[in-house]
Structures are given as C-alpha cells and as structure tokens.
Amino acid sequence: MTHNVLVVDDEPKLCDLLASALGQNGITVFTAGNGLHALKVLEVEDIDLVISDWRMPGMDGPQLLGEIKNRFPQLPVIVMTAYSTVKNAVQSMRNGAFDYIAKPFDIDELDITVSKALQFRDILQDNQRMRAELDEHQQIDSLIGDSPSFRRVLQAIDSVRESNATILLTGESGTGKEMVARAIHKHGNRADKPFVAVNCAAIPEGLLESEMFGHRKGAFTGAVADRVGRFLQADKGTLFLDEIGEMPLALQAKILRALQERVIEPVGDPRERKVDVRVIAATNKNLLDAVANKEFREDLYYRLNVFPIPLPALRERAEDIAPLARHFAHILGATAGKRISGFSPAALQAMAHYSWPGNIRELQNCVERATIVASGTVIDDDDLPAYLFAASAATCSAIPNEGMGVPSDLEAALAQVERNYILAALEQSNGVQAAAAQLIGISERSFWYRLKKLGIHVDKIVR
C-alpha cells in the first residue's frame, strides 16, 4: 500500500533530507514550510501522516497539532523536537500526537516510528471500512419496496444524491427518514467522508449549541477540555439533523448562519471556522404550521427546504409490507439463531389489514417479537402480537359505511382509529406508557404527544 506523508519544517534542507529518506521506502512526500501552508496541503491532498517541527514561525507545531486534531482527528502526527525540548514533545503527545522524534535523529529510528504510525493509520482505516460493511450487512431498515409512493422516494434520492443541495425529509415517526439520509450519503459524492447524525430533540437545550459547534476549554462550567462540534465532525461529509422542528429558536439563527456562510463559531472561541458540510434535515412536524405559530424561523425553513422529500406512511404503501416483513424476519431470525423462511397467508393477511401507525419501526418490532415466539420456520398469525388484531378490528369498525348516516370525515376517522389503537396498546401494557410506546414502535415522546392530542387520560383506562 502506498502512503502520503506531509513533512512540515521551516528548514528546506531538512525537508529534502526527509523526502529522500522516506522516498526510498516508496512513500510519497509532500512538504510545507509552516503550519498554515501545511493546512492548505491537507485540504487538497489525501495525507496519511504528518511529521511536524515543534518551533516554526507563524503557526508553530503545537498550534498545527491542535488544528489537525480538530479537522482531521484520525490523522496521526509525529512531532520533531530538539533534545533540549523533549519535555515539550511529551506534552504534545498528551495533546494527541502519535509520537515524537528528537533531533538530530537516526534514519533507522525515523523509519521505525514512521512505519508504526502508518500501520496505526491503516488499522484505523480498515476498522472504518469494516464497520461500514458491517453496518451495511446488518442494516435492518433497508430501502425495500416497489409501491408507487416509495418509487417516487427512490427517484428523488437518485436525483439529489450527487448534488450538495440541502434536503428536508418529512414524514411520520418511523417512516425511515434517517435510513433515507444514510442512503443519500452512501450513494453520493461524499460517501467516503463522515456521516454525523444529531437528534435535536434528545439533547438538552443548554447543551445543544456546544454539541453543534463545539466549545473551548473553560467556556462554561463543566467545559474541562476543548470539544469538537458536530459540524466540524461532519466536515467534508454529511450532517443529519433529525427532528429539526424541535430546535430552540435561539439556536435556529446560528444554524441558519452556518448554512448560509459555511462558518461556525465554537462556544468561547471568537475565531470563525470554515466548514464544508452537506445538511440533511428531517422532521415529523408541519414546519409551515410551526412558522405560522412563530415556533420556527421562516428563513431557516426555506434554507432547509431546497430539495424536499416527503416519505409515505407504511399504510400508504401497503404492498411493501410483505417484502419488508420478510427482510426483517431473515435478518432478525439469523440474529436470534433461527431460520425463518417466511410468513403464513393468515399472518400476511393480518399485517396487510393493519394500519401501522408506528410505520416501519413498528413493523420491525412486530416481526422481531414474532421471530422470538415462533416455534417453526414459518411465522403464523398466532405469533403476531395481540394488539395488532385488536387495533385491526377497531380500524374496520371506524370506517364509515355508505348510506348509514356516518360523516365521511377522513381526518376524524383516522383520529378514531389512532385512538382505538393507542387504547389497545395501553390495555396490553396495563397502562404503562413506556411499554405501550415500545409495543407500537414509537418513542415515548411521540406517544405522550399522541395522548395529549387525542385527549386520552391514562388513569381512566388502567384496569
């Protein structure tokens, strides 16, 4: 394997010496006379190792090391220092350097240290590739389906994947928004760069700015060390902002600036940092309603909504239920040490007649449970959770029949279906809300929201 090494030193003769010595081992050597020049090289070349002097004019070795750890955290750095300043080199290792070489150095010693650093780099890259392959192999929420509504999603992914346009994914909870975001990244022009996901609703409001933009040591109580924010972690790659509708208004303005100007400012650090990220946002809220209610910035909405992709609910792609269920059963069965060959006609019919308010996530949970309890290689309707049938019966009774004087209000009918479904889940969980949410494959937060929306009081239904 060939490697690229960047040598940073303000003495041209030393740079030439190292280039000659390393070149004999098949290494391609780039040189820079100072830290600022080195950063420019790193932005355009695929470098595997940096060898940097400690003392240089302008940006010195410690400052360069700090910048590399922020921008290229997996890139090893070897520090060169004089014997009289070995203490400084030890400090640099505490700050993230891989190793140090004391000047004047022996060429054999240099070769050994460089070889170890490049082996370390290769291991990191191999592990990253293995993790990616494992994630792909074990990915459960796959892009599976041939329904017209889902084909439109696939066409949208194909249209936008090679661009850098900001994308807004909309749809109910559990429809696979993060799955689609990862697919866009994986098949786009940033596939070999980081994919960083942030759940905006899961991070406390007081920590969200630091989480997004990073902070300097001492910026606030508890900031005991510098922190690299998610924007810098995703530099050159993709930043996925899930549940963007839950982001506080105060932070929305800073997100807007980062998107418009491609710069961020870590908390406690007045220096601006340039970032190159492709942003994919997702929400299960109606952001236009949020804009009208002054809960979401209108300018940020239009900045995010450059390329909208609405994801259909599972009930709107019923023909995809069976292939998705088979896919889940195959993977989850293998994980549980079982060979599941498929579903009985009765089981498929029961799943087809169910409304799946928890969407793909709920279907996955349902199949996982059925896989565990199934005694044979075929999942039957007896293996499916009981709430599925209770809610299916409620669905049938909620559909208005023509000529019976029942108002044909789709929204009201769907609300009644959802209400009956929630009640059935709570009945099975004995009124334990967290357990009921898990049963139907949605988050506790989403479950509480539905309870409030439907006016359901748990203490009235617990038996």
Look at residue 361 and tell me whether its pLDDT is greater than 80: yes
Q: How many CB atoms lie within 10 A of CB 37?
A: 18
Q: Look-up: residue for tokens 């601006």?
A: 272
In a domain, 261, yes or no: yes
Angle, CA of 391, 396 and 401, to the nearest 5°: 155
Res 405: pLDDT: 41
In a domain, 264, yes or no: yes
How many structural domains comprise the chain? Answer: 3
* Same domain, residue pair 303 and 336: no
In a domain, 140, yes or no: no
- In this prediction, residues 221-234 reach a mean pLDDT of 79
* Same domain, residue pair 151 and 122: no
Q: What is the mean pLDDT of the chain?
A: 83
* Same domain, residue pair 264 and 378: no
Angle, CA of 407, 388 and 141, to the nearest 5°: 105
How far lies 134's CA from each of 180, 190, 192, 459, in Å?
A: 18, 19, 15, 45
* Same domain, residue pair 288 and 344: no
* Same domain, residue pair 162 and 205: yes
Ordered DSSP codes for 86-99: HHHHHHHHHTT-SE
* Same domain, residue pair 278 and 165: yes
84 or 348, which is more confident? 348
In a domain, 138, yes or no: no
**Lookup: tokens for 267:** 């908390």
CATH of the domain at 154: 3.40.50.300
* Same domain, residue pair 278 and 342: no
CATH of the domain at 433: 1.10.8.60
- Among 24-33, 57-66, 281-290, 435-444, top mean pLDDT goes to 281-290
- The lowest-confidence range among 359-363, 376-380, 450-454 is 450-454
186 or 402, which is more confident? 186
Res 30: pLDDT: 93
CATH of the domain at 43: 3.40.50.2300
Q: Report the percentage of the chain scoring pLDDT > 90.
A: 38
In a domain, 136, yes or no: no
* Same domain, residue pair 157 and 267: yes
Task: Give pLDDT tens digits for 420-451.
Answer: 778 877 877 777 888 787 777 677 767 777 78
* Same domain, residue pair 191 and 277: yes
Res 312: pLDDT: 95
- In this prediction, residues 260-279 reach a mean pLDDT of 88
Last residue of a domain, one of 251, 281, 310: 310
Local confidence band at 152 (pLDDT 50, 70, 90 cut-offs): very high
Instruction: Tell me if 259 sits within 8 A of 307, measured CB to CB.
Output: no
Local confidence band at 222 (pLDDT 50, 70, 90 cut-offs): low
Local confidence band at 89 (pLDDT 50, 70, 90 cut-offs): low
Beta strands in 360-433 (DSSP E): 378-379
Local confidence band at 397 (pLDDT 50, 70, 90 cut-offs): very low
* Same domain, residue pair 382 and 435: yes
Look at residue 140 and tell me whether its pLDDT is greater than 60: no
- In this prediction, residues 352-376 reach a mean pLDDT of 90
81 or 294, which is more confident? 294
- In this prediction, residues 199-226 reach a mean pLDDT of 79
- In this prediction, residues 392-399 reach a mean pLDDT of 48
The strand order across the sheet containing 28-32 reads: 28-32, 4-8, 49-53, 77-82, 99-103
In a domain, 139, yes or no: no
Last residue of a domain, one of 283, 310, 337: 310
List the domain range (segments joined by +) for residue 29.
4-131
Task: Give pLDDT tens digits for 289-332.
Answer: 999 999 999 999 999 999 999 999 999 999 999 999 999 998 88
* Same domain, residue pair 179 and 102: no
* Same domain, residue pair 154 and 297: yes
In a domain, 305, yes or no: yes
Res 406: pLDDT: 43
Dihedral through CA 418, CA 423, CA 425, CA 426, nearest 10? 140
Local confidence band at 150 (pLDDT 50, 70, 90 cut-offs): very high
Last residue of a domain, one of 97, 131, 165: 131
142 or 265, which is more confident? 265
